Chain A
Amino acid sequence: MVPDAFKWARPAPVLYTVAEFDLLLASGASFLAHVLREGRILFDRHGAMRSAFAAQAQTPLDLEPELTFQLGRLHSFEDTSQFNGEFLFCLAHLYAIGKAIVMIVLEKRGRPEYNKDRAFRALARRYPQLRHDIQRVAELKPFYLQVARGREARFPFSHRHAGDKVPAVISAIRNIATAS
């Protein structure tokens, strides 16, 4: 489905029916903002997409539910005894949640950034008092790359018996969320 010329970029095709796309439009989610800001319509037989995009551009985003949802996901990682000394997947998920919250905060501040590394740097510049928290989450990226992409990378610390790191990361993510 993806032409060979674009495979280097690891594109992830996502198909929406019209009804599903309407739901996305109604959600006010940050992904919608990304689509509206950087998306390009390649084919639109009846002009429905163009009309929907134009109407949506006038509607403010509602990012609070998304922020609440992301913060709620932290619950699954609070009890570190469940990991039995093996924290690779836990740390990968915490990076994913932290990254999502960083992007939501930037979107709320009207400074959207969709590149992971640039997003962390942009937020650290905007909130220097959170630099330590932001760094604590950003440094987990190699765990995420290993689990999500199968990409070998040097870990900042061993994921074995890293239980003492997890509460600090969760706390850092919650601090970052307050910046919004």
Chain B
Amino acid sequence: MTTSSAAPGGGSGSPIALSLFDRVSDYAEALETGTADIGKPLTDATPIVVFCQNFFAQLFQNVLNAPIRSIDARAKEQAATIRQQKSDDASAPLRRLLAVFEELCDEWQDVRGLSYVWYRHRALDEFHATLLPDLFEAITSWANAVDHQDLAQRSALAEAAYKKGLMALSARLAKA
């Protein structure tokens, strides 16, 4: 068990802890080995849930200085307000990241299985096929723009691992 460093990024200087991306690797491996079921809502401690919540918690706390306390309509409003205020060209990658967060807020209840069942499958499909790849791309793009190369590299690796896991899952489903 490791302990937290007081320095953002666990001492790497990154506003987002690089070790958080290990949760994406965990989820990618679960997809690849078949221990994750993307047809079922994601539970509290599913690694990708831990990643999404804590990535944005750290982004809002350490980059935007506007902490969030959940992923919901209130947090979406907060993100939209910040996005509208960041209107300069240099903030374009951050605006894209915030737009993905707003979409995540819309889908979160369904992805987590907290709302009515008839939305679940569409939301889960969108989450896995569209939203997560968009999120990794947006993180990489933003990290490059703010010159956090370690973070950009870690995000790109996470995206590759995730896509590999998803492809393995698709291949397995196609065979079945």
Contact = CB atoms under 8 A, between A and B. Distances in A.
A76 B47 contact: yes
A79 B45 contact: no
Interface residues of B, number: 38
Contacts of A78: 1-2
B69 A85 contact: no
B45 A85 contact: no
Contact of A97 (B44, B47, B58): B44
B58 A164 contact: no
B33 interface: no
Contact of B53 (A79, A85, A89, A161): A89
Interface in A88-107: 88-90, 93, 96-97
B81 interface: no
Given A79-B2, A164-B3, A147 B116 contact: no
Interface residues of A, number: 34
B122 interface: no
A5 interface: no
Contacts of A39: none
B28 interface: no
Given A14-B117, A150-B74, A167-B3, A82 B53 contact: no
A70 B5 CA distance: 27
B16 interface: yes
B10 A76 contact: no
Nearest to B113: A14
A79 B19 contact: yes
Interface string B114-141: 1011100000000000000000000000
A81 B72 contact: no
Contacts of A1: 116
A53 B62 CA distance: 52
A163 B44 contact: no
B161 to A, nearest CB: 16
B2 A90 contact: no
Most buried by B among A75, A81, A146, A167: A81
Contact of A146 (B53, B62, B70): B70
Interface string B43-68: 11111001001100110011000010
Interface of B: 1-6, 8-10, 15-17, 19-20, 22-23, 26, 43-47, 50, 53-54, 57-58, 61-62, 67, 69-70, 72, 74, 114, 116-118
28 contacts: A12-B114, A14-B117, A15-B116, A15-B117, A73-B44, A73-B45, A75-B26, A79-B22, A81-B4, A81-B19, A82-B19, A82-B20, A82-B54, A84-B4, A84-B15, A84-B17, A84-B20, A84-B62, A86-B58, A86-B61, A86-B62, A89-B53, A93-B50, A147-B69, A150-B72, A161-B4, A167-B1, A167-B3
